[in-house]
Chain A
Amino acid sequence: MDIELMAEAFPKILSGLPVTMVLAASSLFLGFFLAIVIALLRTSRFRPLAGFAYSFVYVFRGTPLLVQIFLIYYGTGQFEAVRESFLWPVLREAWWCAILALTLNTGAYTSEIIRGGIQAVPFGQIEAAKACGMNAVMRFRRIVFPQAIRQALPAYGNEIILMIKSTSLASTITLLEMTGIARKLISQTYKPLEIFLIAAVFYLALVFIVTRVVAFIEYRLNPEQRDAARVPTAKDLQTAPIGDIDAGFR
């Protein structure tokens, strides 16, 4: 192990952290809205719309992200027509190709997570909302969506983590995010162990922060679980007077 090399690689890989974070954050942000639209289409009773949403999800979940990135980056550049179209200024840049591929991919996965959440809302509640005179938009906004999000959050936390790691694939289309910089350093030093270890530490740190934030949001969104889960600690039991042992449960 070359500790000196690791110390040298640390700031260099750190300089790729903003790129990784912006790639993950922007594609997650855009992908989330895409996912809501796809999930709504998917639960639509109008067959062609549901079919379109189903095919979209099928294609983007059924093919590897690496293949999608290559198709969007190298594939589109093959066609003269694309190179002369108004799309080229966007597709020419590796940056936008990566964001596009990541957004479409996370959109497909997240839409399934949200669909699961929507369908988990008890039908009785929707009937009740109808009985109260709420229209479809109001029902979705007040009753279905908040519960769907709460239901979907643990799975979505997983998706966020997967996306952070997926940004490393952007290095294959010349983007210098953390993995791209690590690969470049390895090509100069021929020492993959040291350099990938440093990169791994950065990913771990990033994922650690994300899991804490998601856990916190989960805690805030589920007050009933929070109270039910509170069990008396040993200290509560020791200090509570014998007759008042229930106090620990509150």
Chain B
Amino acid sequence: MKRFLTALALASIAFSGAADAKDFKAGSKVRIATEGAYAPWNFTDSSGKLAGFEVDLYADLCERMSVQCDLVQTAWEGIIPALQAGKFDAIMAGMSITDKRKKVITFSRSYMGSPASFVVVKSSPLASLSAGLDALTLADVDAKEKAGLDSMKAALKGKTIGVQISTTHENFLNEYMGDTVTVKTYDTQENLDLDLVAGRIDAALASLSYWVPLLEGEKGKTMAMVGPKMDGGPFGNGVGAGIRQDDQELADMFTKAIDEARADGTISKLSTQWFGFDGTPKE
């Protein structure tokens, strides 16, 4: 009986999932996860090393927090459950701060703004899609924006649109166009690009910070960005570090370090270097 109870206790520990809250302070060890397949946020360079905006930024932030950081590479799909299971302590992987994600994890303040946009191949009939808008904030939609959203929806009706799985972009498509378009989900953004070029999908939806550098490069030669730049609502409020809800003090440490990096121009410098535009988040 005693043995049985011990086994039961061990099993309940094994299945409880959530890791115990750790005390984070100066000198602590912090394990940070990134995907390594989402250039220029984070990617694996030709020599197999991790590089990108977040790979530079994490080193800077860790120095400001005076903690010892380890950067680990992990698949995007399941990155939140893995955080909750205690495989690492923070996520820096181009993850937008959304209400939906806030139900399960907490975030630092945003370290980068990140509007989203559609991309099509230049030869596609959708290449002329404009919706008459330059930018669209989904949190408060006025009459003109409503008309633009509707015209965009009409133009995309019956089309197949690709997005990376578990992203704000997938949520947007399901919420706003789920009934009129076919949504195809991909495990990595790179596979999505391949299918866009191959013509298996009519359009792709992803973050501007991903599209701008891609379209400037060799791979993006045949692609064009169409429609308005969208943010707010399902797209969330910028990109931040994802952290377990138990570890609020770690989130606060990140927020403080990010505020310092915003103030002294580090984020502006890094985002210009990696994205080709200054994406320093406001306030």
Contact of A74 among B170, B194, B199 (CB under 8 A): B194
Contact: A77 with B200, CB < 8 Å? Answer: yes
Within 8 A of A (CB), among B54-68: none
Residues of A within 8 Å of B51, CB to CB, are none
Contact: A183 with B77, CB < 8 Å? Answer: yes
The answer for the CA separation of A77 and B196 in the assembled complex, in Å, is 10
With A174-B184, A174-B186, A190-B104 known as contacts, the answer to whether A77 contacts B77 (CB < 8 A) is no
Nearest-CB distance from B206 to chain A (Å)?
15
- Binary flags per residue of A175-191, CB closer than 8 Å to B gives 1, else 0: 00000000110111011
Residues of B within 8 Å of A94, CB to CB, are 200
Contact of A92 among B166, B186, B197, B199 (CB under 8 A): B199
Nearest-CB distance from B223 to chain A (Å)?
15
Nearest-CB distance from B244 to chain A (Å)?
12
Contact: B78 with A83, CB < 8 Å? Answer: no
Q: Name the CB-closest residue of B to A74.
A: B194
With A74-B191, A174-B185, A174-B186 known as contacts, the answer to whether A191 contacts B81 (CB < 8 A) is yes
CB of B179 within 8 A of chain A? no
The answer for the CA separation of A247 and B161 in the assembled complex, in Å, is 72
With A74-B191, A77-B194 known as contacts, the answer to whether A190 contacts B80 (CB < 8 A) is yes
CB of A90 within 8 A of chain B? no
Contact: A92 with B81, CB < 8 Å? Answer: no
Residues of B within 8 Å of A192, CB to CB, are 78, 81
- Binary flags per residue of B97-129, CB closer than 8 Å to A gives 1, else 0: 000010010000000000000000000000000
How many chain-A residues does the 8 Å CB contact rule pick out?
Answer: 17
Residues of A within 8 Å of B186, CB to CB, are 174
The answer for the CA separation of A94 and B228 in the assembled complex, in Å, is 30
Nearest-CB distance from A137 to chain B (Å)?
44
The answer for the CA separation of A83 and B197 in the assembled complex, in Å, is 10
Contact: B165 with A187, CB < 8 Å? Answer: yes
Contact: B104 with A183, CB < 8 Å? Answer: no
11 A-B pairs in the complex with CB atoms less than 8 angstroms apart: A77-B200, A78-B198, A174-B162, A174-B184, A174-B186, A183-B77, A187-B77, A187-B165, A187-B170, A190-B80, A191-B81
A residues within 8 Å of B by Cβ?
Answer: 74, 77-78, 83, 92, 94, 172, 174, 183-184, 186-188, 190-193
